């Protein structure tokens, strides 16, 4: 059994279980529900003094956050296959066969990456449709290409972090508990429920160093570019910078503002470090 065969098997197991697919998107559904029912109008009204099409801007802001969250929750659901295999001792059958341990780990990783990418693309299409129904505009071709590139990097970094976390679990109950906790906290840790500018400094510091927040910042810089240009067309540059800081479009460390390159390097480093740690932990557990 080679890497592609293992990956194909994991994809079939995941998509065959519709409940698993649903719960991997549950956090996303919760965010969308809260936003559509409450948060969207409240935030748009609170920022209406800026003028322009503020609802389009806020819709784009929440879409960016949802894309960053989707990369985490869907890969978490995908790695549930590994936990189930471990709980049912299937992974021992794999490890006792001629399959290399790196190939076994690679099958889970590649499967989670593909699942995360597919589900993120679905989330992008659905939210773009929602924005259009609310009077907003579709992303341009160049913006879509950038969003897909960020999406793949975000899914890669999220897969690495989730792989490391899941490598410690041996029971489905522990995994389910962790999934619930992560799904609940992820919206706060990425500044979706409450903009980072409205949070205490200690909480802001945590958000700024959380890798997924840099994924959200990258998405925001792309999807919010057009509506921000419209809303702040006649406003001073300082007003737009303050808005960007308050909404987590960029982060400030001391007197330095983060750039897209900074956030990209954070995600690349996150992927490298956590994949290495998770692989080492898997090798230790399979001995």
Chain-centre distance for alpha carbon 250:
17
Q: Which two tokens stand for residue 37?
A: 């029912």
pLDDT value at position 39? 63
- Full-model pTM: 0.88
* Amino acid 192: pLDDT: 78
- Where would I find the beta strands (DSSP E) of 165-240? none
- How many CA within 13 A on the CB side of residue 19? 3
How far the first Cα of the chain sits from its last, in Å, is 20
DSSP sequence for 93-154: HHHTSS--HHHHHHHHHHHHHHHHHHHHHHHHHHHHHHHHHTT--PPPHHHHHHHHHHHHHH
The count of C-alpha atoms lying within 13 angstroms of the C-alpha of 230, restricted to the half-sphere facing its C-beta, is: 14
Q: In whole angstroms, give the CA distance from residue 46 to residue 42.
A: 6
**Alpha carbon distance 255, 261 (integer Å):** 17
pLDDT tens, 8-36? 888 888 888 777 777 777 767 777 777 76
Structural element, H or E, at residue 252:
strand 252-253
* Ranges of each domain in the chain: 3-285
Contact 247, 195 (CB under 8 A): yes
Residues of the chain with pLDDT under 50: none
pLDDT of residue 265: 95
For tokens 């992303």, the residue is 139
Give the angle 164-19-28 at the CA atoms, nearest 5°: 65
The strand pairing partners of 257, in sequence order, are 252
Residue 123 near residue 70 (C-beta atoms within 8 A): yes
Predicted confidence at residue 136, as pLDDT, reads 81
Looking at residue 97, what is its pLDDT? 64
- Secondary element (H or E) of residue 279: helix 260-285
User: Which residues in 41-70 are b (16+ Cβ under 10 Å) and which e?
Assistant: eebbeebeeeebbbbbbbbbbbbbbbbbbb
State pLDDT tens for residues 136-191. 888 889 999 999 999 999 999 999 999 998 888 878 888 888 888 887 788 788 87
CA distance 14 to 21: 7
Buried b (16+ CB within 10 A) or exposed e, 254-268: eeeebeeebbbebbe
> What is the Cβ-side half-sphere exposure of residue 265, based on CA atoms within 13 angstroms?
5
């Amino acid at each position: 059994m080679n890497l592609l065969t293992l990956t194909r098997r994991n994809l079939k197991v995941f998509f065959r279980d519709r409940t698993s697919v649903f719960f991997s998107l549950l956090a996303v559904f919760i965010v969308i529900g809260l936003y559509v029912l409450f948060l969207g109008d409240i935030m748009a009204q609170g920022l209406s003094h800026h003028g322009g099409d503020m609802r389009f801007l806020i819709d784009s802001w929440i879409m960016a956050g949802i894309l960053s969250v989707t990369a985490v929750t869907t890969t978490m659901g995908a790695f549930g296959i590994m936990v189930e295999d471990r709980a049912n001792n299937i992974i021992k059958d794999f490890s006792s066969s001629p399959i290399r341990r790196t190939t076994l780990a690679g099958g889970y990783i590649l499967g989670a990456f593909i699942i995360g990418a597919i589900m993120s693309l679905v989330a992008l299409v659905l939210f773009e449709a929602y924005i259009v129904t609310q009077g907003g505009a579709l992303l341009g071709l160049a913006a879509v290409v950038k969003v897909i590139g960020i999406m793949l990097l975000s899914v890669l970094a999220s897969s690495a972090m989730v792989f490391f976390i899941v490598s410690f679990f041996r029971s489905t109950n522990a995994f389910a508990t962790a999934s619930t906790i992560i799904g609940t906290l992820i919206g706060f840790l990425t500044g979706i429920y409450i903009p980072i500018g409205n949070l205490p400094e200690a909480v802001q510091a945590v958000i700024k160093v959380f890798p997924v927040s840099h994924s959200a910042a990258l998405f925001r810089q792309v999807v919010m570019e057009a509506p921000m240009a419209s809303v702040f067309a006649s406003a001073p540059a300082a007003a737009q910078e303050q808005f960007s800081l308050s909404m987590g479009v960029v982060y400030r460390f001391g007197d330095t503002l983060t750039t897209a390159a900074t956030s990209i390097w954070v995600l690349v480093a996150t992927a490298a470090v956590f994949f290495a740690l998770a692989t080492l932990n898997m090798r230790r557990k399979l001995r």
